[in-house]
Amino acid sequence: MKISQIRWSEKAGWEKTPGVLVNADVVLVFADNAFFQTETCYAQLHEMFPEARIVGCSSAGNVLGVEITDGDIVATAIKLEHSKVLLASVDVEPGQNAQEMGMRLMAKLGDPELRHVIILSDGLLVNGSELTKGLNQAGVSVTGGLASDGERFGKTWVMADAPARMGALLP
């Protein structure tokens, strides 16, 4: 596996570093910035990484190398050697049973070779503990987290091969 990271800030835009993996299989994007919510953000990421699945969510801070950053966007491009990337998502409605959503999401993936799932979910509409119960019933290891919007607790955003939106759940 190979990885590289890029950062977007209001002051500098996308700060590309040498060796950016333009042939990445997946790009994980985390952001505490309104630009993340725009169609332009996704379009620019897709232009930089045309073959990658682009997924991410709003956050309360980002990891860039050994730094913790805030108020920016960090994209981590990953090139896998022996794995494939699948993507599925479900819409989240207030009051939905999170455990059932987790089971439905794992069923959508439906690949007998599936070994691991990275889950990103709306952080305000989903009960993370119940979601985990549903995901774990598939017997596949799971990591991930709930989207955040810092200390605001107003809206969280998830990006899944399309511009970021509210009310989404994806592995």
Task: Phi first, then psi: give them for residue 44, nearest 5 degrees.
Answer: -65, -40
pLDDT at 39: 93
Q: Are strands 73-79 and 90-91 parallel, antiparallel or unpaired?
A: unpaired
pTM above 0.75, yes or no: yes
Length of the chain as a residue count: 171
Integer Cα distance of 38 and 43 in angstroms: 9
Positions in the chain whose pLDDT score sits under 50: none
In a domain, 15, yes or no: yes
Count of structural domains, the chain:
2
C-alpha to C-alpha distance for 45 and 163, rounded to whole angstroms: 10
Quick one: pLDDT at residue 169? 63
Predicted pLDDT of residue 25: 95
Residues 96 and 123 reside in one and the same domain: yes
Q: Are 57 and 110 part of one and the same domain?
A: no
Say whether both 69 and 116 belong to one domain: no
Considering the domain architecture, whether residues 96 and 166 belong to the same structural domain is answered as yes
Do residues 66 and 125 share a domain? no
**pLDDT at residue number 170:** 62
Q: Which amino acid is at 25?
A: D
Longest alpha-carbon distance in the chain? 46
- Give me the pLDDT at residue 171, please: 54
pLDDT (0 to 100) of residue 154 = 81
Return the SS3 of 49.
Answer: coil
Q: Which domain holds residue 138?
A: 90-150+161-170
H helices within 6-64, ranges in order?
Answer: 39-48
What residue has token string 């709306």? 122
- Cα–Cα distance for residue pair 157/46, rounded to 1 Å: 18
Q: Does residue 145 contact residue 117 with C-beta atoms inside 8 Å?
A: no
Domain boundary among 48, 79, 110: 79
Do 39 and 103 belong together in one domain? no
Extended beta strands in the chain, E state: 2-9, 13-15, 26-31, 53-58, 62-64, 67-69, 73-79, 90-91, 116-121, 141-146, 158-160, 168-170
Summarised one tens digit per residue, pLDDT across range 51-88 is: 999 999 999 888 988 889 888 999 999 999 988 888 88
